[in-house]
A and B are shown apart, each in its own frame.
Chain A
C-alpha cells in the first residue's frame, strides 16, 4: 500500500497567518491526491481533489499544489473556522490511504 506522510503533525498559528501543510507519497501518484478537513466530533469535509482543484463551495484561501510524490495544502490567511485537522488521501490505487493528519491549533 502507498504510504502517505504528512508534516508537520501539528502546528500553532494565528488568525491571518499563511499556513502550509505537506504530504509526501511513498511512490509517484501523479496528481491523484485529495485533501480533507475534519473538526472534532464531525465527519470530514472534502476540500480539494486532483491535487489542486477546489471542491465547490470551498473558500478561495485554500489551495493545493504538487504532483508525483510531493504535495502541499496552503491556507493563505487562516480564519477562526479553519482550526481543524487536515488529511491528505491518495486515490491513485487501492487501497486508498490517508496521511496521519495535521492538526492546526490556535497560537
Chain B
C-alpha cells in the first residue's frame, strides 16, 4: 500500500527555521518526483517545490526561492523541506505528494496521485 506521511509542522516565530519531513512507503521511492504543496487554512492550494528522482533538479515557487530547500534521501525513502526566514504568510498546511509523471510523445504530465495528510506550520509572534 502506498503511503506518504508528513511530519515536522510546528508553531514558530517569524525569522525562525523549520524542517518538514515526508516519509514514503509502498513504492519504489527513487523512481518518482516528489512535490510539496501548501494550503492556508480555508484557502486554496499553492504549489511550493518539487525534486526529481535523484535529487539533482529542484524547482520552487518564487515566494520561497532562497528561503526553502527541498531535498531527498533515497535510502530513507524521505523528502524534506528546509524552511528558513519564515514569514507569517508561510503559515499553512504543507502536503507532500508523489508525482507519477506521465510521458506521451515528448511531453510530461504531472500526476500527484498519492498525498499525505498534511502538517501544519504556524508562523506567529
Q: Are B44 and A87 in contact (CB under 8 A)?
A: yes
Q: Are A43 and B59 in contact (CB under 8 A)?
A: no
User: Within the assembled complex, what's the spacing in Å between the Cα atoms of A98 and B44?
Assistant: 8
Min CB distance B57 to A, Å, is 10
Chain B interface mostly: strand
Q: Given A43-B95, A43-B116, are A98 and B47 neighbors across the interface (CB < 8 Å)?
A: yes
* In the complex, chain A residues 31-68 whose Cβ is within 8 Å of any chain B Cβ: 32, 34, 36, 38, 42-46, 49-50, 53, 55
Candidates A38, A42, A49; contact of B45 at CB < 8 Å:
A38
Q: Given A43-B95, A49-B102, are A95 and B47 neighbors across the interface (CB < 8 Å)?
A: yes
A-B pairs, top 5 by smallest CB distance, nearest first, are A43-B115, A96-B47, A91-B110, A95-B61, A94-B59
A-side residues, CB < 8 A to B, are 1, 30, 32, 34, 36, 38, 42-46, 49-50, 53, 55, 87, 89, 91, 94-101
Contacts of B112 in A (CB 8 A): 34, 36, 44, 46
Contacts of B97 in A (CB 8 A): 43
Q: Given A43-B118, A44-B115, A95-B61, are A100 and B107 neighbors across the interface (CB < 8 Å)?
A: no
